[in-house]
Structure 1
């Protein structure tokens, strides 16, 4: 089975634009580059990946394009753009040109913003118009404080192709299930919205067992179904709690439990469709048989 990791990162701290790393676990404050993932990804049986921004600069997005050109498994890049810039359309066009087919979406780092209503600001309307006009996707990196603003944004842009990163970061450690599932219920009413089955293990508090994520996964399948869930590793953030292969196995087992027979969709087809990636062409680039 072809597996697409729809959410992984590379970063190089010496570039100087990863401000959030200062407060991250010490194990993450080093470079994570293709050479660090290649063997682990191959051993887990993951064929392709979508590379997601980790710094709020357009320069980092261009850096990811360069890394992607040296990692043939990368089939797309979700980048960053200054969405409040007056020339946001020209900036997006410049990134599309620089990516030469790699740019498939954009992601502001909303979780790090002090204003929980930022996503709903009317001043962002032009940026979201441009994202839709360029047929790009929007990755919503939000936590529960931002879900209300996200719902308001979706009412203003009902055709926006959006994916909720890490299931909206439920407060698993605090056990606040009801509040989170109420937001998921509202968000799931937006047909174009997909949700990433990613980042859940890193939300566990100590000494919680990983089984604590199961009610959340069950709720995601109940609300979105197998057709709108997309698996991602969130590597290397994942490494603070589990190995690449372990999270993949956990996610495969949970998918088979709550949506039997849908693994090909959750672990490949949904990501390819959502991000408009040509898997057949990617196979050819890797010299893989077309039917594999």
Structure 2
């Protein structure tokens, strides 16, 4: 299947695979033999894997990182911390353990839909944001829009403006890493003419 996708129309643009693990009830779904066979095939074809889990499933993501140290992985939506209740302790422990694996990066997206979707503020997001920055560092974080799901909690424009606010005081290099460099390196994207990327690919 993967070979057909890669060889088919647009197959050269395939960079990573994702499954909605967040909807799987098996607490060890990512460790199932069939799943691991698919992950090995993903790795062997030079692709990455986007890990979409909720905060209570981070142990699966950690085991995945341990078992596949040569498979580039990105934690989607920051592992979906429970921002609405500010119940972040277990999530933070999982994120810091996951960040200990250098082949794993993190996509900063989906935070606003994990907050109170009607009344969230930048201050509500900052505790989770600070954990991510501390755990992964700017050069292993990538911005994501989570569009169109973000429309449930204020939309693209408000999320983008909030990220701009959270980036206040960052160096130009760190801003570039989060907004472009990490994603460019992870997904093997072509550089914009005249632009350099100091991030190293997560391989």
Q: What TM-score results when the alignment is normalised by the length of structure 2?
A: 0.89
2:178 is the alignment partner of 1:266: yes
Deviation track 1:113-168 (CA, whole Å, cap 9, x = no partner) reads 11121012233222111111111110011002211111112111112100001100
Higher relative CO (Cα under 8 Å, sequence separation at least 6) belongs to 1
Question: Aligned pair in 2 of structure 1 residues 264, 207: CA closer, same or farther (>3 Å)?
Answer: closer
**CA distance in structure 1 between the partners assigned to 2:120 and 2:2 by the alignment:** 42
Structure 1 unaligned blocks of 5 or more? 1-90, 281-289
Match of 2:133 in 1: 221
Match of 2:85 in 1: 174
2:61 to 129, 143, 150: 150
Deviation track 1:213-232 (CA, whole Å, cap 9, x = no partner) reads 10110110001001000001
Contact kept? 1:105, 1:139, Cα under 8 Å: yes
**CA distance in structure 2 between the partners assigned to 1:240 and 1:122 by the alignment:** 36
**CA distance in structure 2 between the partners assigned to 1:237 and 1:210 by the alignment:** 18
Larger Rg: 1
Mean Cα deviation higher: 204-213 or 245-254: 204-213
**CA distance in structure 1 between the partners assigned to 2:46 and 2:30 by the alignment:** 19
2:3 to 93, 96, 118: 93
- Name the Cα RMSD after superposition: 1.5
**In structure 2, the residue corresponding to 1:214 is in which secondary structure?**
helix
Contact kept? 1:169, 1:200, Cα under 8 Å: yes
2:100 is the alignment partner of 1:189: yes
Match of 1:4 in 2: none
Contact kept? 2:112, 2:120, Cα under 8 Å: no
Structure 2 unaligned blocks of 5 or more? 196-203
2:188 to 259, 276, 287: 276
Contact kept? 1:120, 1:150, Cα under 8 Å: no
**CA distance in structure 2 between the partners assigned to 1:255 and 1:265 by the alignment:** 12
**CA distance in structure 2 between the partners assigned to 1:182 and 1:225 by the alignment:** 16
Offset of 1:202 from its aligned partner? 0.9
**CA distance in structure 2 between the partners assigned to 1:278 and 1:159 by the alignment:** 22
**CA distance in structure 1 between the partners assigned to 2:111 and 2:41 by the alignment:** 31
Contact kept? 2:58, 2:91, Cα under 8 Å: no
2:36 is the alignment partner of 1:125: yes
Contact kept? 1:201, 1:210, Cα under 8 Å: no
**In structure 2, the residue corresponding to 1:106 is in which secondary structure?**
strand
1:136 to 47, 54, 57: 47
Paired residue total:
192
Q: What TM-score results when the alignment is normalised by the length of structure 1?
A: 0.63
Mean Cα deviation higher: 246-255 or 167-176: 246-255
2:121 is the alignment partner of 1:209: yes
